[in-house]
Structure 1
C-alpha cells in the first residue's frame, strides 16, 4: 500500500514584501484526489504579476501560499476518476495558483496535453504571455495590417511576443526599450524602429519614424513613466491599451480621452474568455506562430526553483529580457 503523503520542495510566501519573502521549503504532498492528477513539474513560468502577489499589490487568500500560475511537466499519478489522462502524459496548465513547486496535485479540468513539438521550457515561457498578447491584439485593439503601433518594453516577456506578432499581422511596429543593450537585442530580432528611453525622447523619436504623423495605437505595460507621453503621439480616434504598470499606475484622464475620441482599453486577462478556458484552445494559434517561425523567442532565462528570490529581484530591477522560468 502506498503512503498517503510524501513531500516536495516549494517556494512559499508567509507574508508580502520584497523578493526575500520567498522561502524554499519542503511541504507535504498528499495522494491525488479522485479528479486530480499529480504532476512532476519540469518548467515553471515566472510572470510579472507573480511579483504583485508577492509584494501585496494583488490579494492572496491565505498564508502560507505557493505563488505562480503556469507550468509544464509529466503526470506521475492519477486519481480514481481520471479517464482522459494517464501516467507519463506530458501536460501543461495556466491560471491555477500554486505553480512554484517540484510536484503538485491539480484538477484534471485545469490541464491540457502538451503537443510533442512544444518543449516544457517553451510552454512555461509562453502560455500566459502568449494569451496576454492574444487578448491585446485580438480584443483590446484588433490590430490591422499597416496600422502604426507603439509597443513599450518590446524585449520583455509579453513585449517580445507582442512585437513579433504585430509585425506578422503587417503592422508598422515602433518599440521602446530601457537600455542600449536591450536596443541591440530588439535590432537583432529584426526591428529597425527602436527607441531607447534611457537616452532618447519618446515624442521626437516617434515623430522621426512616422514623419511627424500620429500613431494608431499603443500597447503599454510600463504605465506611469510612458502612458501620458504616449497619448501625445496618438491620433484622435486611436486606441490606448494599458496592460501593466511596471513603473506605477498612470493617472487616467478619461474625460480628455473622450474629447479626443480615444478608445481606452484596460482589459484584465482574468476576464478574457479564451484565458478562462483552461483547455488551451487559444494556445494552438500561438504554438503555430512559434513553430512556423513567425515568433522567434530567445531561450528563456533559467533559474533553479530554489533561486526564485534572484529571479524576482532580476525581473524587478529590469535585468532580464524575454521569458524567465524556474526549474525544479
Structure 2
C-alpha cells in the first residue's frame, strides 16, 4: 500500500469528557477505486459529536473517529473517478471521521460545493440546516401567524431554526440560558426572548400569547424543561423533540391525549434528506444563506488540535451559533 501523505486527526481514546479527544498524526493511503483525497478547510462541531464522545451513543471500538461533516478541496483522485477532479470544492455530511486535516473518502459520500457557499458556511449549515429543514418541513409545518417556542435559540440549530421560522411569518418565542445570550438574540431582531436563569418560562409565554399558548415547541433540551413546556402548548398543538441535552423526558400518553397534543421525536438519522449524501436536500438550506436569512458568516473557530477545548466550551454553553474546526 503506497503512502500518499500524512494527516492530523482527532480520535476518541475512550468514552468520557472532552479530554478523551486526542490529536495525532497518521499515514493516509493513496485514494483507491472510486475514492478521492480531500484537503479539509472547515470541519463542523455538532452536539451529536458530544454524544458519540461521551459514550451516550456507543461506538464499536476505541480509539474511534469522530465528526460528521466538513468541506474542502480534492487534491488527488483514485482509479475510475470521473465526476470529480483535482481542485474541485466539495463537502460531505453523515460520514464519521470528519475531525481530520486530510481524508480519503468515497465519491458516493461527497458533493460539489456551490460557488456561492464558502467552506466555513458549508461546515456551519449542513447538518444543522438539514435539522432545521426536517423540523419545519416534515416534523411540523410552520405557518404564518403561529406561535413557535424554540429552546436554546442561540445554539447551532436554534440559530438557524429561529431565523427560518421567523422568515415564514411565525411569531418566534425563544429560550436562552443567560442574560448575554438574551442580548445576542435581541440584537438579531427577536422580540420575545426568555432568559431561563432569571425569568419564568410559563409567565413570560402566557404574557406573550395572552394565555392562548403556543402552536408548537421545538425542543433540544429535554427533561429539564419538558413538564413546564407541556403546560404551554395549546389544544391540538405539537411538541417536537430533536435532542435531549439534559436527558430525554418521560413522555406519558394521557396528558398528551387530554389536549390532543402530538409528540414528535424527530431523528435526523431517519430523515430521508440526511440519508441522501449527494447534497440535493441542501438546496433549500443554501437558499436561506443566499437570501441572507441564515447569518452564519461568523462561526466560532477553533484549531483542529483544540477540538477538546471546542467540546468543553460547547458543553458549558460558552459558545453561540455554529462551531468549526480549522485544520
CA contact (8 A) 1:66 1:101 kept: no
Displacement of 1:291 = 1.0
Displacement of 1:28 = 1.8
Displacement of 1:5 = 4.4
Query: What is the rounded CA distance, in whole Å, between the counterparts of 1:59 and 1:30 in structure 2?
Result: 27
Query: What is the rounded CA distance, in whole Å, between the counterparts of 2:252 and 2:321 in structure 1?
Result: 31
Alignment gaps of 5+ in structure 2 = none
CA contact (8 A) 2:74 2:89 kept: yes
Q: What are the residue-to-residue correspondences of 1:139-154 with 2, within 5 Å?
A: 139-154=138-153
Deviates more, 1:87-96 or 1:244-253: 244-253
CA RMSD across the alignment: 1.1
Query: What is the rounded CA distance, in whole Å, between the counterparts of 1:171 and 1:276 in structure 2?
Result: 29
Displacement of 1:297 = 2.9
- Give deviations 1:233-263, integer Å, cap 9, x for gaps: 1012100001111112111112321232111
Query: What is the rounded CA distance, in whole Å, between the counterparts of 1:292 and 1:134 in structure 2?
Result: 16
Q: Report the equivalent of 1:258.
A: 257
- Give deviations 1:28-83, integer Å, cap 9, x for gaps: 21111111111000000000010000000002122221100000000011111111
CA contact (8 A) 1:298 1:322 kept: no
- Give deviations 1:299-319, integer Å, cap 9, x for gaps: 000000000010000000010
CA contact (8 A) 2:121 2:297 kept: no
Q: Report the equivalent of 1:243.
A: 242
Q: Report the equivalent of 2:118.
A: 119
Q: Report the equivalent of 1:65.
A: 64
Q: Report the equivalent of 1:94.
A: 93
2:154 pairs with 1:155: yes
Alignment gaps of 5+ in structure 1 = none
CA contact (8 A) 2:109 2:278 kept: yes
- Give deviations 1:275-322, integer Å, cap 9, x for gaps: 111111111111111111122235000000000010000000010000
Q: Report the equivalent of 2:5.
A: 6
CA contact (8 A) 1:70 1:128 kept: yes
Query: What is the rounded CA distance, in whole Å, between the counterparts of 1:316 and 1:184 in structure 2?
Result: 20
Query: What is the rounded CA distance, in whole Å, between the counterparts of 1:38 and 1:14 in structure 2?
Result: 25
Query: What is the rounded CA distance, in whole Å, between the counterparts of 1:158 and 1:4 in structure 2?
Result: 39
Displacement of 1:227 = 1.5
Q: Report the equivalent of 2:274.
A: 275
Query: What is the rounded CA distance, in whole Å, between the counterparts of 1:4 and 1:191 in structure 2?
Result: 52
Structure 1 segments (4+ residues) deviating >6 Å = none
Secondary structure at the residue paired with 1:226? helix
Q: Report the equivalent of 1:299.
A: 298
Normalised by the length of structure 1, the TM-score is: 0.98
Q: Report the equivalent of 1:185.
A: 184
Deviates more, 1:297-306 or 1:315-324: 297-306
Normalised by the length of structure 2, the TM-score is: 0.98
CA contact (8 A) 2:178 2:197 kept: yes
Q: Report the equivalent of 1:138.
A: 137
